Structure 1
């Protein structure tokens, strides 16, 4: 484009050539740029135009310059014949109404196109713009992005290290701050609701004194007008007051269960502190997931390219007389010479693979099986991680004398035990979940195909089916998670473990709900804390707003300072999610162990409780110590 300030926009002679930007041959010849001449212009064309055959004998000055179409390449003489300029690709053979964006002239999607031989559909212009966006300054942007990462990668690693330390500290400190933190969060919710009640009361008083009633307003579709009547604020006040009262009653009647939930959170933090290796097990799961996805991608690529490739003729200036006899969109041999070398820009380009025939249908069926296998293996890897972590944390709970009775390598022992004895149970649970997910994918595909039907009854039925499958998937994930915990504890098959886990949770449904909500609240607060701290520190550092750091700690000079900031925030969220997912699995495992302990044991010397002293104190229970035994009470 150069540095011409009077011509700030770049015009592509033939935007349809950008459709071929992903062609291997074109990329090898032209890189990431569209294989068409480009010229800097002062303004983009506003109307559609195509060179008429009667204008081939005229000069460039008569057709382009005097008609206010100064879109030829610089240096084209006025007296050059139009046909010669088109053959040498010095001037455009057609123009499209365009609008300037990102320094380029983009054709309008809804513009009226001229009649172009071989190019007359709106699909072609859509594909051309998409190809142009793909190749739009791609080389410059990629170089700048690479430079930014090259200058800031070590600072991004520092930010991720800060996120790792903060996540680990938050999990470990929960044994000390779980109670106060839950209390602060509860008081915060109560305070927000109390302020909402106060605000609604003040607004209601003001509008009541003015006499602004809904009877004066009447019915209107302008919902913002309802903010000016007293009944709206009165209704909001009543709703908030009811919520405040219900929350207070729940806290009064559920205080014992909240104390149990806090004690289990502290015990989970202690378990993580005793087995620090469990916090880094998500890395193993991540690697296994990458292997599964990479294997499926290679398999899908091999299957997709197993058909017979098709090559067709394509010419950018099909309207030229020398190109009229070109059989556009007919098959050709890419290794042979073009049949009409006089047509400028004639190419034999790749169109696609044949998708008909018995072999292609067989390959399509293999793709379906491949997708099912992908879902199955991914769910199996996730199930493996859950069962391994459950086995490690269960060994902590059922150790009577902690930490003396905890196995030396609990995570490794749980991993080997799971692979040796429970692979089939995990595969069965993963298969059930995969079938539901495949059903959801098929339903989404059907909904996409029927979206243009505009049938209210069909849309309603489709939404109901999608909602039911979503709820079913959530339930199966919940059931599988607890079934894997029971498998890790007792080693029974999937069906028996799922039934036992479900019945155990249903017998303690109130405790389940309280623990689940308290845990979700704490983990959400932890994620916000970690991501917020890393995001704020990254913003102030990469924007150079932290003075006095010295030369060794100066922020690098970046083209896009937001790039390392967003990378740090995303990485911090992934790290926090990985740490807190392990902690959540620990809480769920200890909770099921606690319920089993409560139902199976009675504190006698033959069946002592394995729970902590804090839980025994909350429940008002104790272990009977036989004479001469110093075990805990």
Structure 2
């Protein structure tokens, strides 16, 4: 199998093919007779003292481990551009994003037309005011003919209005509320008998039918999505305030975590549990207050109280199940704090990437509002058939004709925002990983007992190295998971439709559920591989594919330890993310509660929840990535220098902590 040049004089395997434990792997049957005098003992196999060998104890496994050893270049290696194709693809995609934004802005989406998303507009094209509603007496035949009412009418109510009658000589397009110069007009009082309506934000929609949803895209009556998007424009100040609160909470939590790591971890668990219980009690008290709330609102509060109580119980059981992981996370946070003590500039890194996230967030919301506000406002002549008679009246109606094509481009825009945010988060993790690997692989000064860095400023070196060479790798690692997410969400949507409409057989539903579970498992695996591959890229400057091969070899040969890396890192900052997101959402709700309906609050609340999570991830990943990269660097250190206990750059207490807490239980038993 090997040439004479690849063998030593004693006939042993090449040095790079040795196992991580320092022992020679078992040979194949063909050469077993000539290798009995080697270091492999059948009565005491190497997997009795290692967690790696029993998983894949063949020559291919050792070849992959040897590949990792030969390709470990170190964080100070000469770097070049990696994954250039995906970098170019990312740039071209954003060129299209900018072009789409320019088209949306040219459509005057932020001027008078935006009122059709945020305010009730009558058939003149004039706003009814913030405290009024718009009612469509002839919605089946004239869906643009809306009139202002103080409150939504009920069946049998009379709605009186003065209709200006105009005779048009042509279909001249004019500004909203204006009449052509060649028209004549006079007022006429018209009385409409109202049908039963229900308030849908500022629109009085017909109650008991959904037929109005199939009307052409020319009316506020069936523009529910536009009304939800309009809440972004109405609450942009509250959104910015909530973002600032999220950044402040993240800063405070990170600083406190820096000095009181284990204590903060314990207090966070207790705080979340107490908050859930208090919220459940408060919701139950609201449900019992018949003087302040109607019956429907009381029932809603009662349901909320039950859900919060169930959430508190579920959180308690999760904490009980995760207590070992939380304790382990507390132990390894000490080593993360040690790294941040020598690399204080790492604490400033999240602010830079948060600024980039903030720019993407503002751009995304502004273009979204413009896309949904884009359209054309024209004056059209419509004939109204008066109720109870055969007489008709011709009026000028300001018709806002939405642009369905630009609204469909929102999917392109949304994916671009998702790709940009995940790429920025990946760049944050890769920069932190490179800085931490510079710290780990630096020799320890015997006099000061601190790391002696090979570069003057490790954080600046890491930031320049990642931003200058590995943006394509970050874009690829963010892109590779997106199609799997969309496929899984699509099948989950189909499954929900089948459940709601009682469609499909039981066997089909079972297979659909199993397929969703398989996609979820595959997605989790791809996310894990991609994350570890991005860390390896940051540590040695390789492309995504080469880094994924090294990451796969490490995972298959050190399954327990690499698997624990992700568990420990997530547990150390998960509660911090929950606290920051909850605090930002609560602040946004308080700021918007005074004069907003739920329709106006839904999309802004969802936006702040997603953005606050991105902010929390940017700050909290500082600790999470530090712990993960320390353990990954330790594993690479051991693999490179001969196996367990042979790491050259690890500090003694860190080695002891890994061996005491991340050693397989079956080794302890044996």
Given the two structures, how large is their TM-score scaled by the length of structure 2? 0.51
State the partner residue of 2:342.
274
* 1:590 equivalent among 607, 630, 634: 630
Q: 2:464 aligns with which of 390, 413, 416?
A: 416
Distance 1:123 1:88, change over 3 A: farther
For the structure 1 residues 270 and 90, does the alpha-carbon distance in structure 2 shift closer, same or farther, using more than 3 Å as the test? Answer: farther
Q: For residues 512 and 494 of structure 1, what CA distance do their matches in structure 2 show?
A: 18
- Tell whether 2:651 aligns with 1:612: yes
The CA deviation at 1:584 is 0.8
Closer/same/farther in 2, CA of residues 422 and 351 from structure 1, 3 Å limit: closer
* Aligned residue in 2 for 1:46: 155
Kept after mapping to 2: 8 A contact 1:311/1:351: no
Find the aligned partners of 1:426 and 1:31 in 2 and give their Cα distance: 47
Aligned-pair CA distance for 1:21: 3.5
Check conservation: 1:436, 1:469, Cα contact below 8 A: yes
Unaligned runs of 5+ in 1: 1-17, 48-68, 75-86, 112-119, 190-242, 325-341, 544-556, 622-633
Map 1:124-523; keep pairs closer than 5 Å.
124=215, 129=221, 161=248, 164-174=251-261, 177=263, 262-289=330-357, 313=380, 315=382, 317-319=384-386, 343-347=394-398, 349-350=400-401, 352=403, 377-401=420-444, 402-405=450-453, 407-440=455-488, 443=491, 454-456=503-505, 457-523=507-573
**How far apart in 2 are the matches of 1:20 and 1:619?**
61
- CA deviation digits over 1:27-51, x for unaligned, max 9? 994136547444558x94335xxxx
- Matches of 1:133 and 1:371, distance apart in 2: 15
Distance in 2 of aligned mates of 1:486 and 1:453:
48
Q: How many residues align?
A: 451
User: Deviation of residue 103 (structure 1)?
Assistant: 10
The TM-score with structure 1 as length reference comes to: 0.53
- SS class of match (2:208): coil
Structure 1 residues 303 and 483: CA distance shift in structure 2, 3 A = same
- With over 3 angstroms needed to count, the CA separation of the structure-2 counterparts of 1:262 and 1:504, relative to structure 1, is farther
Give the secondary structure class of the aligned counterpart of 2:154: coil
SS at match of 2:395: coil
* Residues 91 and 283 of structure 1: CA distance in aligned 2, closer, same or farther (over 3 Å): farther
Q: CA deviation at 1:405?
A: 1.9
| C-alpha spacing 1:298/1:588, structure 2 compared with 1 (3 Å) | same
374-383 or 583-592, which deviates more:
374-383
Distance 1:406 1:96, change over 3 A: farther
CA displacement, residues 576-618 of structure 1 (integer Å, 9 cap, x when unaligned) = 44321221111111110111223333699xx862112312444
CA RMSD of aligned residues (A): 6.2
CA distance in 2 between counterparts of 1:498 and 1:396 reads: 23
In structure 2, C-alpha distance between the alignment counterparts of 1:600 and 1:389, rounded to whole Å: 22
Cα distance, 1:446 vs structure 2: 6.2
Q: Secondary structure at the match of 1:343?
A: strand
Question: 1:72 maps to what in 2?
Answer: 160
Q: 1: distance between equivalents of 2:493 and 2:346? A: 39
The residue aligned with 2:620 is 580
8 Å CA contact retained: 1:37, 1:89? no
Q: Distance in 2 between matches of 1:573 and 1:299?
A: 21
Q: 1:535 to 1:505 in 2, by over 3 A?
A: same
Alignment correspondent of 2:167? none
Find the structure with the greater CA-based Rg.
1
User: C-alpha separation between the residues in 1 aligned to 2:356 and 2:397?
Assistant: 47
> Deviation per CA, 1:409-454, whole angstroms, max 9, x where unpaired?
3232113222444344444434432343454465567668877581
Identify which range, 582-591 or 157-166, moves more after superposition: 157-166
**Aligned residue in 2 for 1:206:** none
